Amino acid sequence: MPRKKILDLSVDWLSILDYEGNADKILEPALDNETLEKFYRTMVITRLFDDKALKLQRQGRMLTFGSCLGQEASQIGSAFAMKSDDWFFPAFREHGVQIARGIPMKLLYIYWMGSEDANLMLPHRNFTVAIPVSTQVLHAVGAALAAKIQKQNIASVVYFGDGATSEGDFHEGMNFAGVFKTPTVFVCQNNQYAISLPREKQTASKTLAQKALAYGFEGIQVDGNDVLAVYSATEAALLKAKSGGGPTLIECFTYRLGAHTTSDDPTRYRKKEEEEEWRKKDPIKRFRTYLEKKGIWNQSYEDKLLKEASEEIEKAVEEAEAYSPVVENMFKYVYAEITPDLKEQMDELLGFIAKRKR
Ligand SMILES: Cc1ncc(C[n+]2csc(CCOP(=O)(O)OP(=O)(O)O)c2C)c(N)n1
């Protein structure tokens, strides 16, 4: 039987920077040198922050930690497109976004050293890390709907991975956002793996971006190792969201160069050659080449930056390790009101600590 085509959907791809340090002149965002330098500095600080966390974990000074090595362009490009009044909802790998949003590194270290107290000290409009995969998608859509009802000119930006797109929460959030046209930007960092599960086994869809089309809004695939492309796509999505155009799903096509977390061994599920290929696509090196061509970057700039960043990180670690967690907080904030069994556990622990101190 002859059929009539009733829908023709497509997904765009955006890439601006090549690997020789050239930007597409038509697509290149108009950013001043100071802003470009801020992007680079934050990417470098994130990498050093991350590396320090891994070392601390190996020395028994930090708990399980998931590195964002290789995803710095996806994180810093999207983060700097947000305004400070926009809501930000992270998963557990968004250290770069958190640093770009001005969350002190000391707090990030305190959190990954095991104290939820850090969440009580987060600056304005930064939500807590979501360890359960995809739950933050619903929170972000809810915050965006609230902002829309209150006629605030803000949006919410939510981060999650390729694996999160298989969760019900993702689909519920996307559906709600599409129906109610909430000002939400969904940033999916497709880093090719959900722990050991490769992207091809996650979904039969050709792209993750196309999932937005089913919910009635735009999905775009962006070169996630190109900080300019990620910035431009996020900025456009935020402008659209704030002018009533509804949500956007941005799929940042990138790669997790490190292990899933410090408890993972990626050599068991992926080939060295694949990692090597992606190492050549290092987002920091790529951006550095561009900045060097523009006369912004040189070796003495790099040496100074590395020195300053390392000092900043050492100071943050020192402060985090000097922090004494408030034990009660672990129990107090599970529910709005502490339940009798949690209260019992809290009293038992406090008693145990008091006895040890004597
Ligand atoms: C609801 C839920 N199910 C399972 C887990 C265990 N888990 C932690 S991370 C992860 C994979 C997440 O993959 P992805 O969303 O691609 O993010 P990535 O870790 O690659 O950044 C899983 C299954 C969890 N934390 N929450």
Whole-number Cα distances in Å, 272 to 71, 265, 284: 18, 12, 21
Tens-digit pLDDT profile for residues 241-250: 999 999 999 9
Tens-digit pLDDT profile for residues 157-179: 999 999 999 999 999 999 999 99
pLDDT of residue 358: 80
CA of 312 to the centre of ligand 1 (A): 30
- For residues 210 and 250, is the Cβ–Cβ distance under 8 A? no
- End-to-end CA distance of the chain: give it in Å, rounded: 85
pLDDT of residue 344: 97
Q: What average pLDDT does the structure give for the chain?
A: 97
Closest atom of ligand 1 to 92 CA is: 21
- pTM exceeding 0.95: yes
Annotated catalytic residue 270 = no
Residue 350 CB–ligand 1 contact under 6 Å: no
pLDDT of residue 1: 81
What is the CA 116 to chain-centroid distance, rounded? 19
pLDDT of residue 328: 93
Residue 164 CB–ligand 1 contact under 6 Å: yes
Of all protein residues, whose CA lies closest to atom 18 belonging to ligand 1?
161
Residue 131 CB–ligand 1 contact under 6 Å: yes
Question: Considering the chain, what percentage of its residues have pLDDT values greater than 90?
Answer: 97
Between β-strands 193-194 and 197-198, what pairing exists: parallel, antiparallel or unpaired?
Answer: antiparallel
Average pLDDT over residues 19-30: 96
pLDDT of residue 52: 98
pLDDT of residue 316: 98
At residue 119, does pLDDT exceed 90? yes
Of all protein residues, whose CA lies closest to atom 26 belonging to ligand 1?
132
Closest atom of ligand 1 to 71 CA is: 21
Residue 105 CB–ligand 1 contact under 6 Å: no
Q: What distance in Å separates the CA atoms of residue 339 and residue 329, rounded to the nearest whole number? A: 13
pLDDT of residue 357: 82
At residue 342, does pLDDT exceed 90? yes
CA of 130 to the centre of ligand 1 (A): 10
Average pLDDT over residues 115-132: 95
Closest atom of ligand 1 to 261 CA is: 19
The model's confidence at residue 2, banded by pLDDT at 50, 70 and 90, is: confident
Sheet containing 156-161, strands listed edge to edge, beginning at the edge strand earlier in sequence = 12-14, 218-223, 248-253, 184-190, 156-161, 87-89
Closest atom of ligand 1 to 133 CA is: 26
The model's confidence at residue 5, banded by pLDDT at 50, 70 and 90, is: very high
Tens-digit pLDDT profile for residues 186-205: 999 999 999 999 999 999 99
3-class DSSP assignment, residue 276: helix
The model's confidence at residue 11, banded by pLDDT at 50, 70 and 90, is: very high
| Per-domain boundaries in the chain | 12-325, 327-358
**Where do the DSSP E strands lie in the chain?**
12-14, 87-89, 156-161, 184-190, 193-194, 197-198, 218-223, 248-253
Tens-digit pLDDT profile for residues 26-56: 999 999 999 999 999 999 999 999 999 999 9
| Residue tagged active-site, from 260, 286, 288, 290 | 260
3-class DSSP assignment, residue 14: strand
CATH topology of domain 12-325: Rossmann fold (3.40.50)
CA of 235 to the centre of ligand 1 (A): 27
Residue 132 CB–ligand 1 contact under 6 Å: yes
